[in-house]
Amino acid sequence: MHSLSWTSRVISRALRNGFSTLLESATNVATTGPAKSRPHFVSVVCGFPKDFLTSKYKPGKYGEDSWFKTSTSNSDVLGVADGVGGWRSYGIDPGEFSSFLMKTCERLVHCVNFNPQKPVNLLAYSYCELLEQKKPILGSSTACVLVLNRENSTVYTANIGDSGFIVVRKGEIIHKSEEQQHYFNTPFQLSLPPPGHDHNVLSDSPDAADTLTFPVKEGDVILVATDGVFDNVPETLLLDVLKEVEGVTDPVKLQMTANSLALMARSLSFDSEFMSPFAINARRNNINATGGKPDDITVVLATVAM
C-alpha cells in the first residue's frame, strides 16, 4: 500500500506539472458604462439510485453517481460523475471515487485561481488531490463539468467518458457532448486501481477530456446527466421534454421537469421490452439486447436567465 501511495503521488505531481500552464487566472473585465445584465443559471437536480434497498442517502449522491452545482460572482458551475460499478466485485465502493471528484471540484471553484474558461483544470486538480490521499480512494469514474462564464455569456465544458450534456434552443439541440468509449460499454475514465491491477485497468488522463466552448443566450436549456439518462431515454424524447422549459425561470416548474426526466429514465431502465439507446448500441456491436439498462440516474437541469 505504501508503494501505491508513492506511485500515486508521483503521477499526481506529473499531472500537476502538465496542467500548470493552464492556470492562467481568469481576466476580470472592467466597465465604465451602465452595468450590463449578465446571464446566470437557474438550476435544479433530481435522481435515483439503481437499488433503493442497498443505497443510503447522501447529499450530492444517487447511488454511485455524484453531482454538484455552485456559483461565484462571475460563473455558474455544474458537474456530474459516475463511479464505475464493476469495482464492487473487488470490495470497493465506486461511489467514493466519484463523490471525492465532485466535492473537490466544487471546493476548487471557490479558490482564488479558478479559471472559468478551463473546466478541465477542475477535473485535473481534483484527480491529483485524489491520487495524493494518504488513504487511497480506489476505483474509477467518468465525469462532466460545465461552466457558464457570466462575463462573456459563454459556456466551457470538459467531459471524460459517457456522462454528458445537451443544450436546447428554439426546439433544437444546438450543442451536445460526444460519448468517449474505448469499446462498447467501456467509457473513458479516471482511475486509481488497487496494487497489482495497474496493467489490466483502463485509466485515462484528465487531458483526454473532450472540451467544448460555445456562447449561450437567454432561455437556453441545459441538461447535464449521467449515462443512466442517456442510455435509457432516446434523444427525441429528451428534446420533447427540454423544449417545453425554454425560457422558464421558475425553479418549481424546472424541478417538476427534472423529476419527470429522472422518473422517465428510471422507468425505461427497467422496461425489458423497450428498445433503449443502450440496446440499440449493443446490437450495433453484435450483442443481441433488448430493454433498458438499470443504472443510477442523475439529472441536473438548468436554464439561462438574465
Angstrom distance (rounded) from CA 188 to CA 40: 30
Residues 6+ apart with CB under 8 A from 30: none
Instruction: Write the DSSP string, 193-206.
Output: PPTT-GGGS----G
Cell of 214: 460555445
Query: What counts of helices (H) and strands (E) characterise the chain?
Result: 7, 14
3-class SS of residue 54: coil
Q: 293 versus 86: which is more confidently predicted? A: 293
Cβ-contact 237, 252 below 8 angstroms: no
Using alpha carbons, list the distances in angstroms from residue 177 to 32, 44, 83, 287. 37, 20, 19, 25
Angstrom distance (rounded) from CA 297 to CA 225: 8
Q: Assign a CATH topology to domain 40-305.
A: Phosphatase 2c; domain 1 (3.60.40)
Chain segment 176-233, per-residue pLDDT in tens: 999 999 999 999 999 999 887 777 788 999 999 999 999 999 999 999 999 999 999 9
Chain segment 15-70, per-residue pLDDT in tens: 555 444 343 333 333 334 445 689 999 999 999 999 988 888 899 999 999 999 99
What is the helix (H) or strand (E) element at residue 2, kind and residue range?
A: helix 2-19
pLDDT of residue 63: 96
Angstrom distance (rounded) from CA 131 to CA 193: 11
Name the average pLDDT for the chain: 90
What does the angle CA 225 – CA 228 – CA 230 come to, to the nearest 5 degrees? Answer: 65
pLDDT of residue 7: 46
pLDDT of residue 12: 54
HEC secondary structure over 133-158: CCCCCCEEEEEEEEEEECCCCEEEEE
